[in-house]
Structures are given as structure tokens and as C-alpha cells.
Structure 1
Amino acid sequence: MSTETLAPSSAELIAQELEADIIFGHLRPHQELIEDTLMARFDAKRHAVRAAIQELVARQIVVKPRSRSARVKDFSAQEVEELYHLRALLQKEAVSIMPFPVSEADLDALKTLHIQYAAAASVGADPRLIHQFNDEFHRQIFALCGNETLCKAIAFYTEASNPIRSYGMTDRQWLEQAIAEHAAMVNAIEQEDRATLAHLVVAHMQPTRRRWESMRGLS
């Protein structure tokens, strides 16, 4: 069997671009995704655009009402509360079963990612690069728990919250706070301080949520 890595399909690439537009606020809640417009933008066939939209629907960041155009998902206050409550439960569970001490190799990899994230965030690098380092940093933290199914659930609901996380994702004050909190997480892991780490992984989610609620008049 060949082990050659397959290149992403056109539908996957379109989905990646649209998700980035949502994350960085170029597409906002309720904004329609018109198939003809997307076909022209990406020079793509209709089936590829539809497949990309269906992928975003599966990720719960786009909705497709019957007989209407797809649109970026909006959230009610109750939906946000439930989503963030679930994320908190999953992330605290990952911390609770994380074996300490972690290996030196895992700790070094986490420190390297933190340095890369801090460097990119500090100099105002491409927001996509900052977002990539941020997500990989958190992915590696939760991977330390050793439960692959739990990690997949954390990743799924983190991605589902991207339309909310986009509010403040590139805000300078938030980036400085995120850098400090990432450093504190690494230190908590190194010091085997489970209680502090459990607190941090939940508190870290709140600033962008509060900004979203404020901008939507829900705070």
C-alpha cells in the first residue's frame, strides 16, 4: 500500500480558506455563502464549492437552511454558554488524567511552540500563522493526557467555537495576555501543578468569549 500523502482536494482548500475568513472576521454571523460567488472566487466547480460548504456545516461553523443559501453560523447566548461549558469540562478532564511528570521531549516541544507563538504574536505576524501556532500549542498540551478520543472531542468543539474566538483573535492586548498565559501553562506542567493548569485552560478561553458577548450586546 502506498504511503504517499495525498494533496488536499479543491473542496478541502476552499473549506480552509472560508474557515480562515470566519476566524479572522472577514465573514461574520449570518453572512451568506453564495455558490456562484464562491465558484468565481476560487475558480472551482459547483460540486467542489458544495462539498466545502458541507464540510463547514459538519464542523458546525456554517448552517444550511433548507432551500436557502448557506450562511455563517450565529450563536444564541444559551448556545455559547453550553458550548463553553462543554469545552471547559473536556479540557479539565484532559488535565485531570494527564500523567505527570511529562517527558523531557514533550516539555521541550511545548516550550518551542510557545517561543514560536510568542515571537509571531509579538511582531504582528500573519494572523494565520499566529492562529496555527496557538492551536498547535493547545493541541500538544491536551495530547499529553494520552486519550486520543478526548483530544478529538476537544479539537472539534474548539473549532466549532471559531466564529466566537474570532472576536479579539488579533487584538494586541489579548495577544499579550495569551503569551503570558501560555507561559504559565508550560510552567504549571513543568511544576506538575495540576490545579493551576486546570484553572488556566478554562480561564484562557474567556476573553474572546466576553468580547463576543460585549459586541453582540449580551454582556
Structure 2
Amino acid sequence: MTKNRATTAPDGKPTPVSGEQAKGEQAKRLHSAVIADELEAEIIDGRLAPGTRLDEQALTERFGVSRTPVREALHELASRALAERVPYRGVLVAEITRERVDALFETMGEIEATCGRLAAERMTVSERAALEDLHQTMSRLAEAGKERDYELTNTAFHTAIFEGTHNLELIEVANALRLKLAPFRKSQLKATERMQRSNEEHAAILAAIIDRDGRKAEKALRRHLMSAAKAVLAKMA
């Protein structure tokens, strides 16, 4: 027997949603995420030039899906500032300049430095232990050259530091900026040498946080973001 799940109707009353419907929604989200990731990579790599129109119909045919996941993917690209909606022209690939990337990393560096300082002062023992576990996992992934898994764990590592501040406003700001910078941070980790260097930088960050040394954690995170920025900007040269 298929169990129903409740959602909220316009009148505020719950309406049942079947298991099959829930699976369908999950599939749509999965499709949109795959489409967004593929287009993101093409934009970052320069395969989709600035000003290129991202036509919904063409994309539905290319990916073999309906318009809904394509629209969701385009919305996601716009939220990452990789595309923009232009009146009467549709969704266009945004221009990515060195100046913009530099500004994003500079801002993120300061935000993460603040998060690192506060996390070093405020994290609980269990939170510090969990952060250490994430670093150990990343060490194994870096050694094995598992780029995708490393990138996902890397996101979890930085998110744990944000949450370790126990400051909801700062966490919200840090996560919003992380989403904008994520495509660039992801691209620089594709090189094995950079992935291993990133892991070494994480070791310094972790040590400072475990030692409750806020200033040292602040400095380590600022340097970490500067190192990532150099790797990304070098590819844009």
C-alpha cells in the first residue's frame, strides 16, 4: 500500500501527496541539479560564452526532459550569478571577469576568516571532533584523487565551520556567498596538486580551531581563500 504525505494547500489545509508523486518531485529536482551542474561547468570552462542565450526549448531537447527541470536549472544558475534574466531576451550567460572573481574571493575570505575565529572560540567538543573526522575523510579522498567526493566533503567542512559560530545571521550570509563562489571553488579542485594543497591548508585551519586559537584560525582561513583565488585566477589568465 502506498503511503501518502501531506502538503499544504492554498487554504492552509494539508492535502495528501502520494508516494509516487513524491518520487516524481524528487526526480525533477535531480534532473534540474544535473542540468544546472552541466551548464555551470560549460560556463566556467568558457564553452558557453557570455551573452549566449540559454533557450528553454533547446535545453529540453538536449537533456530529454520537460520544461520544469530546465526552468529550475536556469533559476539556479541565476542565483549563482552565472546567468541573468534580460527583458525580451530571456536567460543569458553572465560575463565572468577576473575583477568579479577577485572580489568574490576577497569577500568570502573575510567572511570565512570571521567564521573561523568565532568557531575556534565557540565550537563544542563534539563539533570539533566532527570537523576533525571530516578532515580525515578528505585526507583519504585527496590521497585517492577522488575529486568529486573531496569537493562534497570540502563543502561540509566549511559549512561546519560556519555553523560552529552559532551565529544564525553570519551563517546565512556565509552560505549565500558560498553558493555564488561554489562553481569557482569546485573548478580549482579538479587539479590533484591543488586538492592536496587544499587539504594541507585544512590541516592548519583544523589545528587552530582545536587549539581554540581564534586569531590563528582567522589567518589560516584567509590564506586558504587567497590560495584558492590564485588557482582560479591563474586558469583565467
TM-score tier by shorter-chain length is: 0.7 to 0.9
2:169 to 127, 145, 149: 149
CA radius of gyration, larger in: 2
Partner secondary structure for residue 119 of structure 2: coil
1:20 to 34, 37, 42: 37
Gaps of 5+ in 2: 8-16
Quote the residue 1:44 is aligned against. Answer: 65
Quote the residue 2:149 is aligned against. Answer: 129
- Mapping for residues 33-112 of structure 1, pairs under 5 Å: 33-68=54-89, 70-98=91-119, 100=121, 102-112=123-133
Partner secondary structure for residue 192 of structure 1: coil
Quote the residue 2:11 is aligned against. Answer: none
RMSD over aligned Cα atoms: 2.9
Higher helix share: 2
CA deviations 1:112-162 (Å, max 9, x no partner) are: 11111121221122x332211000011001211001221121122122123
The answer to whether the aligner puts 1:178 opposite 2:198 as a matched pair is yes
- Greater mean alpha carbon deviation, residues 86-95 or residues 59-68: 59-68
TM-aligned CA deviation for residue 85 of structure 1 = 2.5
CA separation of 1:111/1:35 partners in 2, compared to 1, >3 Å: closer, same or farther?
A: same
User: Which whole-Å CA distance do the structure 2 matches of 1:84 and 1:38 have between them?
Assistant: 31
What is the TM-score with the length of structure 1 in the denominator?
0.82
Q: How many equivalent pairs are there?
A: 215
Higher strand share: 2
Gaps of 5+ in 1: none
- Greater mean alpha carbon deviation, residues 138-147 or residues 74-83: 74-83
Quote the residue 1:113 is aligned against. Answer: 134
The answer to whether the aligner puts 1:161 opposite 2:192 as a matched pair is no
CA separation of 1:96/1:104 partners in 2, compared to 1, >3 Å: closer, same or farther?
A: closer
CA separation of 1:175/1:215 partners in 2, compared to 1, >3 Å: closer, same or farther?
A: closer
Partner secondary structure for residue 64 of structure 1: strand
- Greater mean alpha carbon deviation, residues 128-137 or residues 206-215: 206-215
Quote the residue 2:14 is aligned against. Answer: none
